Amino acid sequence: MSDNVHIFDHPLIHHKLSIIRDKNTGTREFRTIVSEIAALMCYEATRDMPTQEIEVETPVGVAKCQKLAGKKVAIVPILRAGLGMVDGMLSMLPSAKVGHVGLYRDPETLAPVTYYCKMPPDIADRDVIIVDPMLATGGSASAAVELLKGYGCKHIKLMNILAAPEGIAAMQKAHPDVEIYVAAVDDHLNEHGYIVPGLGDAGDRIFGTK
């Protein structure tokens, strides 16, 4: 896997992943854990955020501290399933703004169809983290990145819980400048474009629609 793909090897993330992969895990627990995984991944995916040194008066003395250097961030979930990761991200980045991209895969062609887009007005000035639990063919993620580049965004990261090798390859071909953060890379896609072994349909499992 090349340098722009970050695969997580943290035991907490993998423990939680084992729960959401389980077909017997219900909607409530699934939703909670997706959010928790997003928070843990956010912690790692923001490791390169710039900081500045400040002095803070403690009750006992003066401490030299590192404070975030004021870089503005936007979280952009791909609807629907990406919504499940937003609260976890905001628990780590409470000042981030949130943009939304509505995309679904045409069930026949698997091509992404855009049906909604709403971004913060200063999105071009923000570091963007796109969130979506699944990177399958890579069509939805590529379309979301394309859309954000159209707004003038220059620093875009993509965060997925599970990816197929096909999706990573497609993203690297279309957008080699985008850093990809993924908890695990699975084996392959099946004939319906589902990740195997995967976790099923993330949107349906988060929202209880099946």
- What's the min distance (Å) between Cβ of 191 and ligand URA? 12
Cβ 133 vs Cβ 158: under 8 Å: no
Residue numbers annotated as active site: 105, 109, 201, 204
Count of other CB atoms within 10 angstroms of residue 74? 23
Chain residues 165-204 in contact with ligand PRP, contact rule CB under 6 A: 167, 193, 201-203
Q: Does 5 bind ligand PRP (CB under 6 A)?
A: no
Q: How many residues bind ligand PRP (CB under 6 A)?
A: 24
Residue 85 makes contact with ligand URA by CB under 6 A = no
* Contacts (CB under 6 A) with ligand URA, residues 27-66: none
Closer to ligand URA by Cβ: residue 41 or 136: 136
CA–CA separation, 85 and 54 (whole Å)? 32
Stretch that binds ligand PRP, among 9-17, 43-51, 105-113, 146-154 (CB under 6 A): 105-113
Rounded CA-CA distance 8/185 in Å is 10
Residue nearer to ligand URA on the CB measure, 77 or 198: 198
Residue 198 binds which entry of ligand PRP, ligand URA, none, with Cβ cut-offs from 5 to 8 Å by kind? ligand URA
Q: Looking at 80-209, which runs of residues are DSSP E strands?
A: 97-98, 100-105, 112-118, 127-131, 134-135, 156-163, 179-185, 188-189, 195-196
| Cα atoms found within 13 Å of the Cα of residue 204, Cβ hemisphere only | 6
Binding of residue 46 to ligand PRP (CB under 6 A): no
195 contacts ligand URA (rule: CB under 6 A): yes
d(CA 210, CA 23) in angstroms, rounded, equals 12
Decide whether 123 or 131 has the Cβ nearer to ligand PRP. 131
Is 158 a binding residue for ligand PRP by CB under 6 A? The answer is no
Sequence-distant (6+) residues with CB within 8 A of 60 are: none
105 binds ligand PRP (CB under 6 A): yes
Length of the chain: 210
